[in-house]
Amino acid sequence: MTVLNGASGVAGETTSPADAATPPGGASAEPRGVSRRRVFAAAGVLAVALLAAVVLLPPLIAGAALLVLALLVLLRRVVFAWSTAIVLLAGVIMFVPARRYAIPIPLPFQLEPYRLVLIIVLVALLVALLTQPDFRWRPVAFGVPIAILLVTVAVSFVVNGMELANAGLVETAIGGMTQLLLMLSVFYAFRQLLRGERDVMLLVTFLTWAGVVVSFFAVIERVSRTNVFLMLGNVLPLTLLREGGDVSRAGVARAFGSAQHPIALAVALCLLIPLAVYLAKYAGWPSNAINRRLVYAGAVVMLFGGVLAAISRTAVVVLGVMFLVTLVFHPRVAGILFALAFPMVLLAAVVVPKVFDKMVLSFLDVDSLVASQYTSAGMGGAGRLADLEPALREVAQRPFFGSGFGSRIVIGDEANAFILDNQFLGTLMETGALGAIGLAVFLLVPPIMLLRFAFAQAAERRHAALALTIAIAISGYIAAIFFYDAFGFFQTFFILCMLLAAGAWLLTEAPRRAAAEPSDAGEVGSEAGTAAGPAAPADAVGVTR
């Protein structure tokens, strides 16, 4: 019995030589002695768990624990599969609000659900890498940009170490760096979990429909002022750390959903819209092309409804940037997208006029928009432009290495800085120009690599389309970092990590065509065009590079 069973291949999926070398039957092909030792080891673990439950737990809880244990044994082939780990980790990220819940275990820190699941997955991956010869490390493609980001953070910490120590912020800085490493480990976990094309499609499909579910309940929250994601403690063994906030814009309530803030919710759902558009062409279900496009057109509408429920102008910027990227690389597809989206925008203006006015029409009143960003200068919750001048004055004092990573505390009793709502500016203040360069490399290099892959003649069309889709989504995330503290909102950052993991699989393991056909030269292909529009006809989306 292995730690986790790999999923079997599907049509069109390729596997590495190491995976192909695995004989059918998995554990049954191992030497009989090894298999027998594993059976005895498993029996010993079960016996210890049984005795511990009987001795240490109350009868009712012990019975429930034993029932769960029995179900795990019966369903072990499903539960202990890598595909299950993909769904479980992505599900916790999408449905359990970060910083809201903790596992009720007495520890010196709050053990949030995503941390527990992530650690379990990382340990399982490590054990598999050490014990299973056919389970090998997958190349990550984006290791250099990530390393550059981490090096700039470390340099800033070292250079400012004395000042951080004098201010009593060393522990805070180390905690911040540890948290950053934990967040980036989500990318590495998903990259190692994505071992074939079926895994990639599973992740993309699950993310899309999870976003649809979140959007649906966000709309319910917008109407009823009830957030179902803060009721998970009623059905799961979770402790609610803090109640939901009450954020409104011009008297209109904004939805949080499963995110930490309405802005974060809106950005997360915007990033998933390109995935739904891609799946309108390439999803395995529905099998009928027309039905598939109708289903995923409905998914796009639902995601758009969730964005409206959050009432965030940042979402308008994100959608605009993603549309511009599509316009640059596929102008005809951008035109089709515009034609499809325009009626939806008009419908939103009629159905929710107040929301539409605050999100979209406010951009037309430039003077009022700029004035709103200069409000409450020097105070918490100040406008973004009001924060700009004092922030740049601080940057001028330490232009190269900043004040030290983790030196700015913006919430809590120990707060010593103001909230910027600008990840780039915050990075510039903490880590200086060096850190800003590291952040730029981390965010810009992956989409550039994916765009090159998308237009490579050797790329399969469906893979080129997915690469373009991910690049478009990442461009939206890049636009958003100038309007909120992106790294402080974990759900959107983890979605970015999952997109990067899928992109890394494309760059390193996706099969290449032996030779491009003359008619395909310089094109992403007709299927690739649908990465920017759900109902684009096949003859209207092939665009010459």
Q: Do 504 and 140 form a contact (C-beta atoms < 8 A)?
A: yes
Alpha-carbon radius of gyration of the chain: 24
Using CB atoms within 10 Å of the CB of residue 17, give its burial: 0 to 12 exposed, 13 to 18 middle, 19+ buried.
Answer: exposed
CA dihedral 23→28→33→36, nearest 10 degrees, is 150
> Among residues 2, 53, 54, 39, which one has the least CA distance to residue 23?
2
Mean pLDDT of 523-528: 44
pLDDT more than 90, % of the chain:
42
Cα–Cα distance, 456 to 451 (Å, whole number):
9
Place 115 in a pLDDT band, splitting at 50, 70 and 90: very high
pLDDT of res. 145: 97
Question: What are the Cα distances from residue 363, in Å, to 86, 321, 537?
Answer: 40, 15, 33
> Among residues 10, 96, 160, which one has the least CA distance to residue 490?
96
Strand, helix or coil for residue 102: strand
Place 4 in a pLDDT band, splitting at 50, 70 and 90: low
- Residue 457: which residues within 8 A CB-CB, separation 6 or more? 513, 516, 520, 521, 522
- Residue 214: which residues within 8 A CB-CB, separation 6 or more? 94, 95, 229, 257, 258, 265, 268, 269, 306
Cα end-to-end span (Å), the chain:
50
Residue type, 403: S
Residue 119, token pair as written in the block: 């650690």
Q: Do 135 and 129 form a contact (C-beta atoms < 8 A)?
A: yes
Place 26 in a pLDDT band, splitting at 50, 70 and 90: very low
Three-state secondary structure along 363-392? HHCHHHHHHHCCCCCCCCCCCHHHHHHHHH
Place 459 in a pLDDT band, splitting at 50, 70 and 90: confident
Q: pTM of this prediction?
A: 0.81
302-322 pLDDT, tens digit each: 999 999 998 888 999 999 999
Using CB atoms within 10 Å of the CB of residue 7, give its burial: 0 to 12 exposed, 13 to 18 middle, 19+ buried.
Answer: middle
